[in-house]
Amino acid sequence: MMKRAVAIKKRTERKIEEKQALMHDVEYASCLSLHLIVHSSRFLMRLNGAAAGYEGKAVFKPKTFDIEKGDRIAVIGKNGSGKSTLLKMLTGSVPLLAGELVKASNIIISTMPQTAEIQGTPFGLAERNGLDPGYFLMLLRKLDFRREAFERDTSGFSQGQQKKVMLALSMAIPAHLYVWDEPLNYIDIESREQIENMLEKSAATIVFVEHDRKFIENVATKKIEM
């Protein structure tokens, strides 16, 4: 029993030391960034008369466009026009009902839904999603999270904090394409500016829905109107 207790104590101490070292790295990390993977194909997706919807009924008119490497595509339109459904069609969570949608081979897509239920500590979320915890926590620090929040359950976070966690999760996933649905909801002005600056300087490919017109004008290289 004594040996077992000593072994448990050593493991606990080692985990504490690892977390302390990790927090030191987080404090001195670089600026906000995406974990981008560059695909060998020029076209990540090609849509030809593609439409999607629910119960066999399309919710938007067929769309034809390409998603090329480096594109930052804003999907714009009135509420209820099918913007979120289009994003879900791209990620495969809503079935294609008409036309063609051709994806580059072995493409990895990182998504950020409009809403999602998250729970567990940031440390735990990184572990469950197979992410580099140092990179994930660095992103949260850059998004103005205090270090003590890393040990708290995210289900008790404010809407703005939860949105930042969802953003950081998507940003920390190595991906060829990022698909974000209203990423700036509940986000403070300083963090909005950081996200905007990051995307403007990044070579990342992203398709997004957002209502902030200034953000769209500054970030988008293409627009798809619903």
Percent of the chain with pLDDT over 90: 77
Query: Taking the CA atoms of the chain, what radius of gyration do you get in angstroms?
Result: 20
pLDDT at 93 over 80: yes
Q: Model confidence at 24, in pLDDT bands (50, 70, 90)?
A: very low
pTM for this predicted structure: 0.85
Question: CA distances (Å), 87 to each of 38, 56, 193, 210, in order?
Answer: 21, 17, 24, 12
* pLDDT interval class at 115 (50, 70, 90): confident
Domains of the chain: 31-226 (3.40.50.300)
pLDDT in tens, 149-183: 888 999 999 999 999 999 999 999 999 999 999 99
Provide the pLDDT confidence category of residue 1 given band limits of 50, 70 and 90: low
* Rounded distance between C-alpha atoms, residue 107 and residue 45, angstroms: 9
Binned at pLDDT 50, 70 and 90, residue 51 comes out as very high
Q: Is the pLDDT of residue 148 over 60?
A: yes
